[in-house]
Amino acid sequence: MPARITLLRILWATLPITSGPAFGAQISGYSPAVKIVVSIWALSIWLLGMASIALPRPIGLTGIRASSSIVLPLAIWTIFTNQPDLAPAIIAVVATAAAFALASSSEIASWCVEGSAYGDESRFPLKTPPSLLVTLVPLSIAFAAAGTLVGPVLIAQRNWIAGVLALALGAPLTYASVRSLHLLSKRFAVVVPAGFVISDPMTLSDPILFVREHIVVLEQMPSGARVEGALDLRLGAASASLLLRLDDVAPLTTRKRGTAVQTPAQQVLFSPRDREALIARCAERRIRVA
């Protein structure tokens, strides 16, 4: 088991101790009903993280990414409380920031993606495009958090109509947000006995197998490099790219605005999070690399 997984589990398990006092002080001025609702919600986020860390699967990766991205802003929020002693808030920020950094690491992503591998195959997560990291990801997490919290808080305040409406809107909003986040966890390359697979539901309609005998070379590319005529699956994540060259045109089907489009290609660009590990594994499988 990766050392970072163990450290993340320890950090997450101790969050009620390191972050609980600051969070409790921040909501102390609310009504009893609201405090109960917010406390249950925060406990649910923590339990989601605990369950996700124990589940080395893409869904576990989505869970720990989402929960760690929620608790960090909550800890930062506690700094703005009226309590005279900022020490609990600072401890909370440090603990949640460390958990967030570990949850965002390549090692955690690889552990979760590899946990879903079948038989004699190796899975390698693809990079999350920077444009999505500053748009889709934070917005999805904010919508998921608001969709699960606003309705119950309004009901706790006896704003019945607004609360019911918020719940009705929050459920589909949360589902759509989590689904969008989970698509990022399902983007990976797979080295299999027969060759090489790219599974990316954001760019491809179905995973595609590139048979070893038809792979000319798997080539490292400079950051930001573009290849004329190549199918680019990087979505803007151009650093540490790989170019897959084939001896013939492959019948690929890409996704463009939710529509399947036939996109035959003989060269494919993609960006794994751990390029060196992927290249080494391909070399072991007798896939030509450069």
Contacting residues for 257 by C-beta, under 8 A, at least 6 apart: none
Q: Choose among 274, 235, 255: nearest CA to 130.
A: 235
What is the structure's pLDDT at 134? 87
Extract the tokens encoding 234. 């990087």
Q: pLDDT at residue 272 above 90?
A: yes
What is the structure's pLDDT at 262? 86
Measured distance CA(183)–CA(140) in Å, rounded: 12
Q: In whole numbers, what is the pLDDT of the chain averaged over residues?
A: 90
Global pTM value: 0.90
The pLDDT tens digits of the residues spanning 8-59 come to: 999 999 999 999 999 988 888 889 999 999 999 999 999 999 999 998 899 9
103 exposure class (CB count in 10 Å sphere: 0-12, 13-18, 19+): buried
Give me the DSSP letters along 76-124: HHHTTSS-S--HHHHHHHHHHHHHHHHHTSHHHHHHHHHTT--SS-EEE
What is the structure's pLDDT at 1? 61
The pLDDT tens digits of the residues spanning 51-108 come to: 999 988 999 999 999 999 999 999 998 888 756 678 889 999 999 999 999 999 999 9
Q: Which helix (H) or strand (E) holds 289?
A: none
The pLDDT tens digits of the residues spanning 112-150 come to: 999 888 888 999 999 998 888 888 899 999 999 999 999
Cα 44–chain centre separation = 19
List the domain boundaries for the chain: 3-185, 188-284
> Which of 105-119, 149-163, 252-266 holds the top average pLDDT?
149-163
* φ/ψ of residue 241, rounded to 5: -85, 160
What is the structure's pLDDT at 83? 63
Q: Tell me what the mean pLDDT of segment 241-245 comes to.
A: 92
Extract the tokens encoding 36. 């109960």
Q: Choose among 9, 146, 114, 123: nearest CA to 64.
A: 9
